[in-house]
């Protein structure tokens, strides 16, 4: 079995037991990304060398006996509507390609703190406001099972990516079904956490989000296994 086929818990266990290195885990997911993403366009912003460098640092931390988190070395994807340091927070909008984040959003920072390694950023409809995943900035994401069907939205790129093995966990967010519907459409599992369970804001934002969004939008995971 290839490392990209393992669920996050098993991958983390093998890395902690030194049965698999972080570099091997990340490289396997990156190779999977390269092999299947051109067909479905789920990941629209890469960062292979950045991910491999983080994996090398994660292996060094293990070798040095440092304390590690529960997702140490596990490859994950991040949706393009949250800030990830050094990457554009496009939210599927071409005009936002210049909005390059200077720091991580809390959800990305917490994933890194847990040891997870971002390997790519996933597609969303413009402004993350549709039940399909297509936009002028990045194009259309296809359902990996049937190109004639929608992958759902707005976390359609996240669901499609994790369904084909691009990362063990995909980050998504959900206001009116944006994790749950893509999970259903792509045949994976999605969790909408309780409101307030996962902190979230974009440091690159120029103003407060409307109260209705703050009171209904949550950040959560998609994966191939509960």
- 103 confidence band (pLDDT: 50, 70, 90): very high
pLDDT score of 210: 74
> What digits encode the pLDDT tens for the residues 16-60?
999 999 999 999 999 999 999 999 999 999 999 999 999 999 999
pLDDT score of 207: 78
pLDDT score of 148: 96
Tell me what the mean pLDDT of segment 179-195 comes to.
Answer: 97
pLDDT score of 214: 73
Residue 221, beta-bridge partner list: 171
> Which DSSP state fits 4?
G
- 196 confidence band (pLDDT: 50, 70, 90): confident
pLDDT score of 205: 87
pLDDT score of 215: 74
Sheet with strand 189-190: strands edge to edge: 43-45, 117-122, 75-79, 169-174, 218-223, 189-190
Residue-averaged pLDDT of the chain: 96
- 109 confidence band (pLDDT: 50, 70, 90): very high
Token pair recorded at residue 199 = 């902190």
Query: b or e along 209-224 (b: 16 or more beta carbons within 10 Å of the residue's beta carbon)?
Result: eeeeeeeebbbbbbbb
Nearest to residue 139, comparing CAs of 164, 157, 166, 165?
A: 157
Helix (H, G, I), strand (E, B) or coil at 200: coil
Residue 61 has pLDDT above 80, yes or no: yes
CATH of domain 3-223: 3.90.1300.10
Residues with a known catalytic role: 79, 154, 178
Tell me what the mean pLDDT of segment 159-180 comes to.
Answer: 97
pLDDT score of 216: 79
- 68 confidence band (pLDDT: 50, 70, 90): very high
pLDDT score of 206: 80
> What digits encode the pLDDT tens for the residues 133-165?
999 999 999 999 999 999 999 999 999 999 999
CA-to-CA distance for 125 and 26, rounded, in angstroms? 27
Q: What is the pTM of this model?
A: 0.96
* Cβ–Cβ under 8 Å, residues 78 and 53: no
Residue 86 has pLDDT above 80, yes or no: yes
Query: b or e along 75-92 (b: 16 or more beta carbons within 10 Å of the residue's beta carbon)?
Result: bbbbbbbbbbbebbbbbb
pLDDT score of 171: 98
Question: What are the extents of the domains in the chain?
Answer: 3-223
Tell me what the mean pLDDT of segment 192-214 comes to.
Answer: 85
Q: Is 160 exposed, middle or buried (0-12, 13-18, 19+ CB in 10 A)?
A: buried
Token pair recorded at residue 20 = 């698999």
């Amino acid at each position: 079995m290839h490392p990209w086929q393992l669920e996050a818990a098993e991958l983390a266990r093998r890395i902690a037991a030194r049965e698999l290195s972080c570099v091997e885990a990340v490289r396997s997911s990156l190779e999977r990304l390269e092999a299947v993403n051109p067909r479905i366009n789920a990941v629209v912003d890469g960062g292979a060398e950045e991910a491999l460098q983080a994996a090398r640092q994660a292996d060094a931390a293990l070798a040095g006996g440092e304390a590690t988190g529960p997702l140490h070395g596990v490859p994950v994807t991040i949706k393009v509507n949250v800030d990830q340091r050094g990457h554009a927070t496009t939210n599927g909008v071409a005009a936002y390609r210049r909005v390059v984040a200077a720091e991580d959003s809390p959800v990305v920072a917490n994933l890194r703190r847990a040891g997870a390694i971002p390997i790519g950023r996933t597609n969303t409809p413009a402004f993350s406001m549709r039940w399909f995943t297509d936009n002028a900035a990045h194009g259309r994401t296809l359902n990996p099972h049937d190109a004639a069907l929608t992958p759902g939205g707005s976390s359609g790129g996240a669901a499609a990516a994790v369904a084909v093995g691009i990362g063990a966990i995909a980050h998504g967010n959900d206001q009116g079904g944006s994790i749950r519907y893509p999970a259903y459409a792509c045949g994976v599992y999605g969790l909408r956490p309780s409101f307030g369970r996962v902190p979230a804001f974009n440091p690159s934002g120029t103003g407060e989000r409307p109260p209705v969004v703050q009171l209904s939008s949550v950040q959560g995971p998609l994966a191939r296994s509960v």
